[in-house]
Each structure stands twice: as structure tokens, then as C-alpha cells.
Structure 1
Amino acid sequence: MKRILVMVAALVLLGTYPLSAETVSRIAAIVNQEIITTAQLDREMRELLAQAPPDREPAAEQLPALRRQLLQKMIEDTLIQQRVAALGIEVTDEEVSQAIEDVQRQNNIDRPQLEQALAAQGLSFQAYREQMRSQLLNFKLVNREIRRKIEVTNQELRDYYQAHQDQYRTAPYKRLSRITFNLPSDAGPARIGAVRAKAEEALQRLRSGETPQQLLERLNAADPNIEGGDMGTFTPGTLTPPFSTAVDNLAAGQYSEVIETSLGFHILRVDERSAGEMRSFDSVREEIRRQLMEAKREEAINEWAESLQKNADIEIRL
């Protein structure tokens, strides 16, 4: 069963379709002796479809299903309103204003900009205030009804951490540096061979103990086409295939063979290598708590919604 606060976004995305007006308003449903009429249902349907993009028009055979789904939402909304009234839950004008100010602040807009955006959607500011009031009422109701059901214990946090350790391991990475012997686009075989030989000689110097910085400074002073330096860190899958293959099995401090690409010849050095580290339980405790709280909240809302409908007297007459 869908949760009682289910939105009908899928319906809104569906486009407009003309509805035939009913000459006689009949009873669509009775919810704890409160009547929902076909006139109310048709009005809601027209308003819903009027919000849809004109190029997403539903086929005629889709309309009965859309109508049934909308009636279900109206039943759910009626149950919520009845429960709000029974519990005496209220939302003050000040709370509504504060919530709207929060929306403006989060979207970095002022009141005139908000009203302009609402007008573009065919919604007045007063209607928006009432929508916000309804949302706050629902929020207060749900929190009151399910608050006691969503406690997360320390043992649950630790059990989740132990069972999902892969989620809390940092990605393996390599930090690389390079020396590149660039080739001009019009280089012929002789030039390519000479540059390759220069790269091979440089590699031997590096492996004999000359530092990359010393070698690079000396080479670059003689030939500005030779350059390089720190490349940063790379996680699996982020290096190009030739570079990845060249350094996959290298330990920190080791050099690759000379790598040939369309741009020239390259020597890579693995400056640092990490297989990934486990984040400590204390560092992820609150992250896990939020995740489990949300899952429990979702479950509690569904159970509460089912209970609300199960204990209601609902008669659908369509």
C-alpha cells in the first residue's frame, strides 16, 4: 500500500486531457462518514492536468487509471485532515511565514521573485501559503504519530558498520608524477627515434639515482619540449589505459617504462600508493545514524498509513 503522503508527481508529468463535465454530482467515496463527490474529483482532475506540459497528453485509456489514483490520494488527504482535527494539531501564521522565508533563503530569492515564480505556475501567493500550511500540518502529524518508533541504538549502528564496511573504505589511489618528451605533430621517423632515445636515456638516469626534479630541470633547460611534474592522485578507472597499464604493478618510488602516445614519450613515477583505508566507526557514526533513522522513518510512515486506512470506514462508489 502506498504511503499516505504519496505525491502524484507522475500524474503531473502526464499532460492535459479534456474531461467531460458531469451533469449530476454523485458520491465518489465516503471516508468515516465524510463524502468525496464526483464533482470534487473532477475539479481536482482538471486542476492536476492543467499543470502538465502540453506535449505530454495522456491517451484516453489512461484517464480512468489516473482518476482512480487521484481519488485514492483524496481519500488519503481526507484521512490526514481528520486525524489532524482529532489531535488538535495547528500551524500558526508565524510558522507558515517562517517556512516561506526558509524557502526563499535556500533558493536565494526574495519575496517578489518567489511570487513571480509562483505566478508562472499559475499559483497565487495566498494559495501557496495554504499549501505550505497543509505541508506543515502533515509534517507535524507524521512526527507526532511515528516519533516513538524511530529510535536507533548504538548496537544497531555498530552492526550496520560491520555489515557494510566496504561502504566506509576510502578508494585506492596512486599519486603520480611524470616527465614528458613532447613531439611536434609533423615529426618524422628520425625525429621520433631521437626523442625516444632521449627518453630511454632519461629513464636509465632516473633508475640510477638521479632525482626527477634535477633531471627535469636539466632537460628542460636544453629542450623546452621536455616538461613534467606532479600529476595528482588517481583512483581506479581514472587513468588512460596506456598509463594505467604502465603503473598498475609499480610500488611507490618506482618508474614506468617509456610510454609512447600520439603526443610523445612519457615516464611516470608512482610517488604514493594506497590500497584504501577504513574510515573509523566514530567518524561515520552520525552518517549511519541518519541513514538508519531515514529507513526507520520510511517504514514507520508506511505502517502508520496502512493502520490509518485499515481502521477507517472507507467506501468507494466508483
Structure 2
Amino acid sequence: MLLPRRPILATLSLALLTAPSFCWAEAPFLNRDTLIAPAPQVAQPQAEQRTFSATSSQTPQVTPLPSNLETLDKVVAVVNDEIITSTQLAQRVEAIRARLQGQDAGQMPPEDVLRRQVLQQMILQDVELQIAHRAGIQVDKATLDQAIANLARANNLTPDQLRQALVNQGQSWETFTADLKNRILVDRLTQQEVESRVHVSPDEVKTFASQLKEIGGLSFDLQQIFIALPDNPTPDAVSAARQQAEKIREQLVAGASFTRLATAVSNGRDALQGGRLGWVKAGELPPSIAQILLQVKAGEISPIIPGPTGFHIFKVLDMKRAAPTVTEVKAAVIFLRAGNGLQLQEAEARARDIQQALEGGTRFSELARSYSQDPATAAKGGEVGWVAPGQLPDVLERTLLSLAPDAVSDPIRTADGLYLLQSQGQRQEPVGEQQVMAAARMQLYNRMVRERMEEWQRRIRDGAYVEILDPSLRAVTA
């Protein structure tokens, strides 16, 4: 399955309110599959309020559990040592149903199919969160507050207005912030387990740069159905997956809705967006896929494309070819020196103070003048100007590219200190000879991250103990 590279979670302003976290497609404001509605409340009779001391001879009367407790909230799946309940599943299904209906009510899959797909998504998320907790990854309040502020700013709201908008839509603020925290945890985990382990050699960049001159300006607007293979598949398993893909493609060619089938049968993380990937640069696709899509016209269905982990079927919604460009970001920076252990502790404490001040409304430029230890930029309110690919270390460049305008990153640790970055805008500039190598390196890195992410997610899912207790949620058919 083709997964987008997750933005480094310096900000979530690109994720929760403007686009799905696991695909490139746009989604309606606040109408996210992760915005889970509050659990339905069961009315209880008003009990008499009594207090008992530890030495009291009286004991409180325990109200017996309702006889229909199992039907109120039963366990539908076990994921290692965690559970998913019917209430949790129902909440997530309801949120996703509302979003799908907002996109195209006629493409809604059957209820049982939707519940199975949503459960599979929840299982993978639970596995990721469990690994993040075991790895000791944490999200402090300052980071969460900054993410909320970035989300609000990206939608031209204050944090209070964001909260009210959620309430007006019937969403739970507590659930929303808990889900946001989980997204940050998972993104930090994937940075640690996937992104940080991807290394692009100079020879690979040089080879790809020559290809980029030919396809650098080509992009596809795509939908995808992905039929996954199990880990270490047998020939019979490969044959069965291929047959399933062929059956699906036959239905698509006969006129079946791509959105409906993707939601029903795709194993990709984009399934619950109807398989929508959005605009993808040809250079960021595996060459085997890009070469085939070049032969597919807009509106057509691709042949079945085998990959290392499964079979892909694409619909090319549109394509465009333009002069190759690179993204430049107008940036500002706060640098905190941290060359030893004591300096690092002081820098981390100062960074938390800066994040809290930003949350309170203090301008980034004011904080840069007061706290940044880079004299060249501090005097200018942290302003760096327009940054082209290749001008910054990779970790800073990737973070900066992931930021929405006016968003501020988490503190980024480097060998000499901590950086907080602010994006003040983006622009597309023609690729010059000096920028070809930098553009090639970034696109090749993004492609490799997608491939490694796919492999990693399959590995952790296959390595987890998962038991689906509800029989209606087990079988998946095309």
C-alpha cells in the first residue's frame, strides 16, 4: 500500500483539520475519522450521597451491574494486552460514516463492511501506540498545546474558537485532544523506527537526479485499492491475492464505484478515504508504478501492479505536467545552545517556556529576539528568509517542509542545540541546476520512507497478538 510520508510532528496543522493523516486527500473541516463523538450516556437514578470513613462499621451498598452489560459494551477485539470495545468501534464508525456521507452519500459501503475496515484501522493504531508507550515516547502538555495552537491557526481560529467549533459539531474536546496526543505519539514513533533509518546514498541521488529531469514536473491525482500479502506468503497466498485483485478490477472496469470498493476491500490505510491519495509526484512513486501510470489516461483504471507486499490497482483521476519545481519555505528560527548535558536540560526547559509563551499569544519574533542564541537571526526576530532545498540539514529541512504557514515546530535536537522553526509561507520555484540534486534527494527519501513504512506497519501488525471476538468482524470479502 502506498502510504504518504508522515509529516514530522512539529505541527499537526497539515493533518487533523485540513487533510487526513494517512493520505494526501483533502477532508472537510473538522470532519475527521479520528474525531470521535462522546460515548452515549446511560441514564442512572440519582443516588443518595453518603460518605464512609475507613473505620466505619457501615459499608456502602454497591449497585448491581445491569443484566444487559454485555450488550451495552462488549469486547470485540483483543490487541496484545489491550481491548477494543463495541462502544469504541461504534464511535469511530459513526465519525467515519459522517465524513463519507459528506463526500458522497451514494458511495457508502454496507454497514458490516465499514465496521470491519474501521476495526482493522483501530487494531493497527493500537499496535503502534503500544510500541510507542513501551519505547518510552511521551508527549508533554506544552507540545500538545502547541499542536492545538497550530491546528487552530491553520484554520484561522483561536484555540478557544477551535474548541467551540468542535463542541458545535457534537465532538468531545477530551476525546479530540486524546486522539491528537496519540497521533503525535505515533508520528514520533515512526520518525524513530522508520524515517531516521532511511539513508540515501550519493550514488542513488545522482542516478535519480538524471531521471528527475524527465519526470520532475509530472504529477498524478490518484485513488488506490491495495490487496496485501501476508508476511512470508506461500505461492497459494500470492495466487489468492492476485485472484482477488483481478476480481476487483473486473468490477471496476464494468463500472463499479472505485470509492465504494476501496472503502470495502482495500488493505491500505487510505481505504477509509475511498482510496484517495490526492496529487502525487511521479518521482515519489516506485519506478514500476510510475512507468505503468504513464500509460494510463485520466479517468481510467490501471492494470494490476504487483509490489513487494501486495497488489495495487489505481484510478488516475487526473494528471498534470509542468516545469519541475521545488518548494522553498520562508523560515524563522529560535536556536538554543546545548553542547553538554547541563546545557541540554536548560535548553529543554527554555524551549518549554517558549512553547507556553507561543500558546499564550506571544509572537515568535519577540521570543526569538529575547531567547535565540543565534545572533545573526535573533536581531531580525529569527527571520532566515527563503530557504531552498539543500540549504539546511535534512532533519531541519524535512521539518520545515511539513509546517503549515505560521506553524511552529517542536524542539528539534541536533548535535549543537535545539531549534524551533516557524514557517512563514511556501512558494514553488523552478528547479535550477544547483537544486536538482537537492530535489532528487528529497523525493527519493520520501519514496523510500513510504516503502519502509509499509514494510514496518505490516511487520508490527503481523507480530502482534490479535483476536477478533465478534465473528461478524472477521471475514473480509471482495
User: Per the shorter chain, which TM-score range?
Assistant: 0.5 to 0.7
Matches within 5 A, 1:114-193: 114-167=162-215
Deviation readout 1:155-204 (Å, 9 max, x if unpaired): 212111112322469xxxxxxxxxxxxxxxxxxxxxxxxxxxxxxxxxxx
- Alignment pair present for 1:309 and 2:461: yes
Pair 1:295 & 2:447 matched: yes
Higher share in helix:
1
CA contact (8 A) 1:12 1:48 kept: yes
Report the alpha carbon displacement of residue 120 of structure 1 after superposing the two structures with TM: 3.9
Aligned residues of 2:77 and 2:85 also touching (Cα < 8 A): yes
The residue that corresponds to 1:45 in the other structure is 93
Q: Distance in 2 between matches of 1:124 and 1:99?
A: 17
Task: Provide the C-alpha distance between the structure 2 equivalents of 1:70 and 1:26, rounded to a whole number of angstroms.
Answer: 17
Does the aligned pair in 2 maintain the 1:115–1:124 contact within 8 Å? no
Matches of 1:113 and 1:304, distance apart in 2: 38
Match of 2:124 among 64, 76, 81: 76
Q: 1:207-226 to 2 correspondence within 5 Å?
A: none
**TM-score, normalised relative to structure 1:** 0.53
* Matching of residue 111 in structure 1 with residue 159 in structure 2: yes
Indicate the residue corresponding to 1:36 in structure 2: 84
Query: Which piece of structure 1 moves more, 98-107 or 47-56?
Result: 47-56
CA distance in 1, matches of 2:2, 2:72: 31
1:66 alignment partner AA: L
Separation of aligned partners in 1, 2:185 and 2:140: 10
> What is the match of residue 282 of structure 1?
434
d(CA) in 2 for partners of 1:22, 1:57 = 32
Counterpart contact for 2:129–2:182, Cα < 8 Å: no
Distance in structure 1 (CA, Å) of the matches to 2:439 and 2:142: 32
Residues 2 and 450 in structure 2, CA contact (< 8 A), matched pair in contact too:
no
- In 1, distance between residues paired with 2:206 and 2:193? 27
Greater mean alpha carbon deviation, residues 109-118 or residues 147-156: 109-118
For residues 60 and 279 of structure 1, what CA distance do their matches in structure 2 show? 42
What is the rounded CA distance, in whole Å, between the counterparts of 1:146 and 1:2 in structure 2? 15
Distance apart, 1:48 and its partner CA: 3.5
Gaps of 5+ in 1: 14-20, 170-234, 236-277
Deviations 1:26-85 (A, max 9, x none): 442222143323343234323443555479556897111101001101111210121112
- Answer yes or no: is 1:23 the counterpart of 2:71: yes
- Contact 1:158–1:281 (CA under 8 A) maintained in structure 2: no
Supply the distance in 1 between the matched residues of 2:184 and 2:142 (Cα, whole angstroms): 12
Identical residues among aligned pairs (%) = 27
2:127–2:460: 8 Å Cα contact kept in structure 1?
Answer: yes
Is the CA contact 1:149–1:300 (under 8 Å) kept in the aligned structure 2? no
Contact 1:51–1:121 (CA under 8 A) maintained in structure 2: no
Q: Secondary structure at the match of 2:138?
A: coil
SS state at 1:75 partner: helix
Give 1:307 deviation, angstroms. Answer: 0.8
Cα separation, partners in 2 of 1:294 and 1:120, compared to 1, 3 Å: farther
Quote the Cα distance in structure 2 between the aligned partners of 1:305 and 1:113. Answer: 36
Cα RMSD over matched residues?
Answer: 3.8
Structure 1 Cα separation of the partners of residues 105 and 216 of structure 2:
46
Say if 1:284 and 1:120 are closer, same or farther in 2 by CA, change over 3 A.
farther
Compared CA separation, residues 120 and 295, structure 1 to 2 (3 A) = farther
List structure 1 runs of 4+ shifted beyond 6 angstroms. Answer: 2-5, 7-13, 58-61
Pair 33,104 (structure 1): closer, same or farther in 2 beyond 3 Å = closer
1:126-176 CA distance string (max 9 Å, x none): 44322321111111111011134311222212111112322469xxxxxxx
Q: Secondary structure at the match of 1:90?
A: coil
Q: Assess if the C-alpha contact under 8 Å between 2:138 and 2:185 holds in 1.
A: yes
SS in 2 for 1:89: coil
Letter in 2 for 1:100: I
Moved more, 101-110 or 304-313: 101-110
Q: Which amino acid aligns with 1:133?
A: K
Closer/same/farther in 2, CA of residues 108 and 59 from structure 1, 3 Å limit:
closer
Q: Which deviates more from structure 2 when the two are superposed, residues 90-99 or residues 77-86?
A: 77-86
Flag the structure with larger Rg.
1
- 2:171 is paired with a residue whose SS is coil
- Partner SS state of residue 36, structure 1: strand
